[in-house]
Amino acid sequence: MQETEEIKSISIIGVGNVGWHLSQALHEAGYEIKHIVSRSQEKLESLVQKLCTIHLTSIDQVQEEPDLYLICVQDVYIPEISASLSSSQSIVVHTSGGSDLKVFSAKQDKYGVFYPLQTFTKGNNMDWSEIPFLLEADNQSTLNKLKVVANRISGKYNFADSSARLKVHIAAVFACNFSNHMATIADSLLKKEGLDFKIVYPLLKETIKKLDRMSPDEAQTGPAIRNDAVTMERHMELLKEFPEWQEIYRLISKSIPFNPEP
Amino acid sequence: MQETEEIKSISIIGVGNVGWHLSQALHEAGYEIKHIVSRSQEKLESLVQKLCTIHLTSIDQVQEEPDLYLICVQDVYIPEISASLSSSQSIVVHTSGGSDLKVFSAKQDKYGVFYPLQTFTKGNNMDWSEIPFLLEADNQSTLNKLKVVANRISGKYNFADSSARLKVHIAAVFACNFSNHMATIADSLLKKEGLDFKIVYPLLKETIKKLDRMSPDEAQTGPAIRNDAVTMERHMELLKEFPEWQEIYRLISKSIPFNPEP
């Protein structure tokens, strides 16, 4: 691939939630998906057919290299994949919020990070226009090429070095993964009462909708911000059969600052 | 008020977030708002004018009683308000998720609970059709009357005794108040990097949107469910200057069960 040329062909390594969605978005944006590399044989036929691509079970089977390798495996496997691509002339990037750019430095010539800031679940349609990409690369030419790809998928991107990206990733874990776990605890508590999660879902939607117009600290409501000790004690008492949730309740309530007029 | 008659006039005691919104919804649904009772003089003129009502600073000033008193004060003040209404012939209800029906038993003849399961913030427009009411009363006649009111505001209601309502309330605290605090922590972490909360907002919206189609435990993603120890350690390391958030991170991650294929 010449320095001035655009990326045209892409091979996807790993088809977990991120690879599954990203490969389809790239195909729809007009990119040639050269290979899908995945040890797993399961449930890949329909994806392979849809993307008009080849399924390989190992990188060693690659004959014609793509312009770009997109590594979509779990963080812990990125160094191993990177090592096995050490003779590649392609650009090699990972899609992780938490892995450093340095993971590539000893092995690759042209490398970077292409991190979509979103929660991916198979079988769920994504609105890519809403998804910002955090981009990083070892040099400006590679960065420009990644920018073009991000632009064609979503139109939204930011440049972020590995340190800033890790902090965005932690923020995403709190805002997304941990919020979801709060919903899981709510769901479990309701189920024990024979009630459906649907009863609190409008509340949860409104909670998030508010954040379009005000900051989360302005939007905070509930017993903790009012320092309503009576209610919090009744809750703690009822949670005593779930000591883990009780401790989460205690810690988060303590972390919410008191405001006499929430 | 006769046993068979519908509620027509309502007095609102307390104009915090709940009273503020509920008084307007009741007015729009055609109820006469007889009084707004609030010690505070501030910011009430426009509300009083809009509702064509009278502002009293104490219940003692009531001359003509309404069909229904709606107590919208903090839980800790409900017994005191209830005591001061002890000679009332009106139905008396509170709007709290966490307070028992028994709070009224020694003081009132006709009493109940009218709890809107929603997060209220002044200045925010509510979609009342989305808000379920949890209703409870000391007798069937009162319950029927409250049902009519809930129906006219939102069309959604459930009957829940005080024990079930308290559990729904805890669930709501996790799903809403605690999710919002997760967003506050995310916002603070991003601000420290000079980044805007907007960057994770699409992620948060998608996190909640997913729950319309799958249960929260099916929707869980992130380092904890993958048991990605490397990433979690890097996050914990970065959070060490915020020991409270670090402890919340540790506890919630521990509470998310490992799933090898999230």
Q: DSSP letter at A67? A: S
Between residues A185 and B75, the one the model is more confident about: A185
Q: Which residues in chain A touch residue B201, judged by CB atoms under 8 angstroms apart? A: 211-212
Helix axes B179-192, A162-172, angle to 10 degrees: 170
- Tell me: ipTM over 0.85: yes
pLDDT band of residue A4 (cuts 50, 70, 90) is low
d(CA A193, CA B215): 17
> In Å, how far is B3's CA from the nearest CA of chain A?
31
Helix axes B201-210, A179-192, angle to 10 degrees: 20
Number of CB atoms found within 10 A of residue B148's CB: 11
Q: Is A130 helix (H, G, I), strand (E, B) or coil?
A: helix
pLDDT band of residue A152 (cuts 50, 70, 90) is very high
Q: Is the pLDDT of residue B2 over 70?
A: no
Q: Is A177 helix (H, G, I), strand (E, B) or coil?
A: helix
d(CA A178, CA A104): 30
Q: DSSP letter at A113? A: E
Q: Is the pLDDT of residue A106 over 90?
A: no
Mean pLDDT to the nearest integer, B87-109? 92
Q: Write a three-state SS string for A19-40.
A: HHHHHHHHHHCCCEEEEEECCC
Q: Please report the number of interchain residue pairs, chain A to chain B, with beta-carbon separation below 8 angstroms.
A: 334
| Residues 6 or more apart whose Cβ sits within 8 Å of residue A96 | A75, A78, A113, A115
Q: Is the pLDDT of residue A261 over 70?
A: no
CA distances from residue B229 to A75, A127, A163, A164, B233 in whole angstroms, order as listed: 10, 30, 18, 20, 6
- Which residue from A220, A230, A251 is facing B180, i.e. has the nearest CB? A220
Q: Are A7 and A64 in contact (CB under 8 A)?
A: no
**Exposed / middle / buried, residue A258 (Cβ in 10 Å: 0-12, 13-18, 19+):** exposed
Q: Which residue of A has its CA nearest to B204?
A: A176
d(CA A126, CA A130): 9
Rounded mean pLDDT of chain B?
Answer: 93
% of chain B residues with pLDDT over 70: 98
- Which residue from B119, B168, B224 is facing A195, i.e. has the nearest CB? B168
The string of DSSP codes covering chain B is --TTSPP-EEEEE--SHHHHHHHHHHHHTT-EEEEEE-S--TT-HHHHHHTT-EEESSGGG--SPPSEEEE-S-GGGHHHHHHHTTT--SEEEE--SSS-GGGGTTT-SSEEEEEE-S---TT----GGG-PEEEEESSHHHHHHHHHHHHHHTS-EEE--HHHHHHHHHHHIIIIIIHHHHHHHHHHHHHHTT--GGGTHHHHHHHHHHTTTS-HHHH--STTTTT-HHHHHHHHHHGGG-HHHHHHHHHHHHHSPP-S--
Chain A interface, best mutation among B135, B207, B210, B256, by max A CB count within 10 A: B207
CB contact under 8 A, B179 and A176: no
Q: Which amino acid is at B161?
A: D
Q: Is the pLDDT of residue B54 over 80?
A: yes
d(CA A245, CA B39): 38
d(CA A144, CA A113): 12
Residues β-bridged to residue A32: A9
Radius of gyration for the alpha carbons in chain B, expressed in angstroms and rounded: 22
Q: Is the pLDDT of residue B259 over 90?
A: no
Q: Which range among A117-126, A199-208, A217-226, B242-251 shows the weakest confidence by mean pLDDT?
A: A117-126
Q: Is the pLDDT of residue B1 over 60?
A: no
Q: Which residues in chain B touch residue A180, judged by CB atoms under 8 angstroms apart? A: 207, 211, 216, 219-222
| pTM of structure | 0.88
> In Å, how far is A2's CA from the nearest CA of chain B?
33
pLDDT band of residue B262 (cuts 50, 70, 90) is low
Q: Which residues in chain B touch residue A201, judged by CB atoms under 8 angstroms apart? A: 211-212
Between residues B149 and A130, the one the model is more confident about: B149
- Which residue from A172, A224, A255 is facing B203, i.e. has the nearest CB? A172
Q: Is the pLDDT of residue B124 over 80?
A: no
| Residues 6 or more apart whose Cβ sits within 8 Å of residue B137 | B93, B101, B110, B111, B112, B113, B143, B146
Q: Are A235 and A224 in contact (CB under 8 A)?
A: no
B32-37 and B54-56: which strand pairing?
Answer: parallel
